[in-house]
Amino acid sequence: MISSSSMRVAAAFLLVLLFLVDVVCSEECTRTCIAQNCDTLSIRYGKYCGIGHSGCPGENPCDDLDACCMVHDNCVEANGMTNISCHKKFKQCLNRLSKSIKQSKSKKVGFSKQCPYSQVIPTMNQGMDIGIMFSQLGNDLRTELSVLLRIYSWPKRRRRHHVGTW
């Protein structure tokens, strides 16, 4: 049986998911490199980074970080917003970029001086951690609900009524 706390968490998850879908659907594609809200979850970076922020088809990314975001956007579009594999691959891309920056002794920089990699990458990692958490929660609830639906919709055995003679 599903507990009331699980139902509250599920309801909160669905509200957040509906909000994110609304944001994603309402935003138009981007043709210019943008750098806004660099240290918040409402970040807009490059053409592809940020919730609901996406470049127009055929647009080249602004830098290496934006390229990670473009690959993530394509993965999520193909596999769904709660696909944890997409989120983990994005974090791997961020980690490779961070290592590359360290190896360059911080000479490798992004397109924006206003939003340096040192600020944007941790923000993106934090956002992905939250995305993974919500995706796991949503996937767990979906699994639990499908099991419950199978249990409660299982065809009941019909009892045979013996029709006797009097």
How many separate domains does the chain show? 1
Q: Judge whether residue 9 has pLDDT over 70.
A: no
Task: Kindly state whether residue 161 falls inside one of the protein's structural domains.
Answer: no
158 located within any domain? no
- Domain range for 68: 27-138
- Confidence class of residue 100 from pLDDT cuts 50, 70 and 90? very high
Dist. CA 137–CA 59, nearest whole Å: 33
Q: How confident is the model at residue 124 (pLDDT cuts 50, 70, 90)?
A: very high
Question: What whole-number distance in Å separates Cα of residue 36 and Cα of residue 97?
Answer: 20
> Is residue 17 domain-resident?
no
72: left (phi > 0), else alpha (psi -120 to 50), else beta? alpha
Stronger pLDDT, 156 or 40, i.e. the higher one? 40
| Average pLDDT, rounded, for the chain | 83
Q: What is the pLDDT of residue 12?
A: 61
Instruction: Please identify every residue annotated as catalytic.
Output: 72
What mean pLDDT is predicted for residues 29-39?
95
Kindly tell me if the per-residue pLDDT of 62 is higher than 80. yes
In a domain, 42, yes or no: yes
Say what the pLDDT of residue 149 is. 73
Residue 35 included in any domain: yes
| Average pLDDT of span 127-149 | 82
Q: What is the pLDDT of residue 151?
A: 73
Domain assignment of residue 98, yes or no: yes
pLDDT band at 103 (very low <50, low <70, confident <90, very high): very high
The pair of three-digit structure tokens given for residue 85, joined into one six-digit string: 């594999």
Structure tokens at 37: 């809200």
CATH code for position 118: 1.20.90.10
Give the confidence band of 58 by pLDDT, cuts at 50, 70, 90.
very high
**0.85 cut: is pTM over it?**
no
Whether 48 is covered by a domain: the verdict is yes
The dihedral of CA 104, 106, 111, 117: what is its sign? positive
Q: Does 159 fall in a domain?
A: no
pLDDT of residue 75: 97
Cα end-to-end span (Å), the chain:
45
d(CA 121, CA 98): 8
Cβ neighbours of 23 (radius 10 Å): 14
Which region holds residue 27: left if phi is over 0, alpha if psi is between -120 and 50, else beta?
Answer: beta
